[in-house]
Amino acid sequence: MGNGDATRLVEQLTSSGLLDRLYIGGEWVLPMGHDRTSVIDPSTEDAIAEIALGNAQDVDEAVIAARSAFKTWSVSSPQSRAALLGRVHSLILERAELFAQAISLEMGAAISTARSAQVPMAAEHIRVARDNAGSYPFVIHREGMALMREAIGVCGLITPWNWPLYQITAKVGPALAAGCTIVLKPSELSPLSALLFTQVLRDAGIPPGVFNLVNGSGPEVGAALAAHPDVDMISITGSNRAGVLVAQAAAPTVKRVAQELGGKSPNLILPDADLARAVPAGVAAGFRNVGQSCSAPTRMIVPRERLAEVERIACEAAAALVVGDPRSPQTTHGPVANRAQFKRVQEMIDAGITEGARLICGGPGRPQGLERGFYARPTIFSNVGPQMRIAQEEIFGPVLAIIPYDSVDEAVEIANDTVYGLGAHVQGRELAAARAVAARIRSGQVHINNPPWNPHAPFGGYKHSGNGREYGVEGLQEYLETKSILGWQGEPG
C-alpha cells in the first residue's frame, strides 16, 4: 500500500458524497448546519479531506429515527439480529484492506498494525456479538417467575480516535445484538472508518433508523446526545474529562452511563520472571498503537536487583522499533494521531526529565530524519518514582516508566497506587504466585504472562477508569434491562 491508495480512498469518499453527509433514518442526509472540519494525515500534518459536522438539531432527528425503529427492532428475533451481524462481519472482512487504509490515513497507524490488529480485532467484536445474540438466554425461568432481559432503548455511542473501528464495533455489535437502536458519534478526528462502517451496515440490510451516524464535536453532538431525554443510555470511550462531562450532562435524565476512560496500567514483573521474554513483550505492549491505548502497560514495575538487566533488554527492544511512514510495510510505529497528542507526549517527556527520572532511550523531539508529522521517539525512563507525573498521569504515547521495587508487597502497592484501574499485567514463572498477585491488583482486567487477546474477556475499569464492561457476554448485558414477571406458570414460552 502507498500514498496512491490513500489518495484513491479519499477520492472515493469524496465522489460518493459521504464526507458531506450524516446517516439518519436509513438515508445519507445533509446536516442542518454548515460546520465542517478537516481530517489531518498525522504523518504529513496536511489536511486530506473535510467532513460535515452535525449539531443538536441533527441529534434530535437521529433520536427520533432511532426511537421509531426501536418499536420493531427491539422485538425482532435474536436469530434475525444474529443474521444481520453475520452479514456485517463478512462485509468487514471483505473490505478489510479499505478499512486498514482509512485507519492508517486518519490516525497514523502503521499499515501492518491496521491490517493485523485494528481491523481484524474490530471484526471479532461483531462475530462475538453475532454468536451471543444467537445463544444468550433472554428469558429464563427461576423460582416461580420469568426473568426477561430486554433492550434498554435508544443508545448514544461516543467513540474515540485511537482505535476508531475497534471501539465502534465493541459498542455497536452488542447494542444491536441486544435489540437496541443507535446514534453513533465517532471522533471527528478519525471519521473515515466510521463512514465506511456505516456503508457496511447499510449494505448488510440494517433497517432504517436502527443505526444512525452523526459526526460532530463533543461539546455540540456529544453533549446533545448525553442530555437528550429520549436517549436511554450513553456509552463513551474517551478521556476522563470527556467522561465526566457526559455523565454530568446525562444526570438530569437519569439515563444509564457506561464509561471506559483512562488508564495507567502496571506491568508487574515478579522476581522469578524470565526477563528475556517478559521485558520485550512488556515494551511491545506498552508501545502498541504508539502507546495510544487506554490499557497500555506503561508502568513496568521490576525487582530493584534486576534493574540494570531490565534496562538493557528494554532499550534493545525499543531500538528494534521502526518509526516512520505508516504506509510503509517496514514501519512498526507511525506518528501519534494528532497535534494535541504530540504536544502532550512532548510535555510529559519534559516532565520526566525535570522530575529526575533517568532517561535511558528516546527523549524529546522527533526521530532523526522525520522533520514533518507527529512522530515521537520511543522513550523509556528508569528509576522512576511512583509519584512522578510520568508514573501517575496517562500520557497516551510511546513513553514507558520503569519503577523498581524491593518486595512483592511493595510492587502490588505501587501497581494499585494511581487513580486508574483499567488493565494490568503480571509476569512470573511460578503460576500460583502470579495468580495470587493478579488477584490483589485493583483492575478490570489482568494479563498473566502475555496471553493472546480474548474478545470474550470483559473489559472495563475500576476507580477513575470508568464503569460498566465491554466485550463478550458482559458487554451485551450492558445494553439490557432486567424484568421479573412473578406468577408465571411453567417454563417461558
481 is known as an active-site residue: no
Could you report how far apart the first and last alpha carbons of the chain are, in Å? 54
Please answer whether residues 391 and 405 qualify as being in contact, where contact means their C-beta atoms are separated by less than 8 angstroms. no
Distance separating alpha carbons of residues 126 and 107, to the nearest angstrom: 22
Active site residue 315: no
β-sheet bridge partners, residue 155: 182, 233
Out of 294, 315, 361, 478, the active site residue is 294
Long-range contacts of 87-94 (CB under 8 A, 24+ apart): 87/204, 87/205, 88/126, 88/200, 88/201, 88/204, 88/206, 89/123, 89/126, 89/127, 89/130, 91/200, 91/203, 91/204, 92/119, 92/122, 92/123, 92/126, 92/169, 92/197, 92/200, 93/123
* DSSP one-letter string for 134-196: HH--SEEEETTEEEEEEE--EEEEE--SSSHHHHHHHHHHHHHHHT-EEEEE--TTS-HHHHH
Full strand arrangement of the beta sheet holding 233-237: 27-29, 22-24, 211-213, 181-185, 154-158, 233-237, 256-260, 466-467
Catalytic residue among 106, 260, 311, 478: 260
CA 481/CA 269 separation, integer angstroms: 41
Strand order in the sheet with 139-142: 139-142, 145-151, 480-486
Q: Which residue has the cell 518509526?
A: 323
Helix, strand, coil distribution of the chain in percent, nearest 5: 45, 20, 35
Question: What DSSP designation does 9 have?
Answer: H
Angle made by CA atoms 391, 394, 397, in degrees to the nearest 5? 100
Q: Which residues are annotated as catalytic?
A: 260, 294
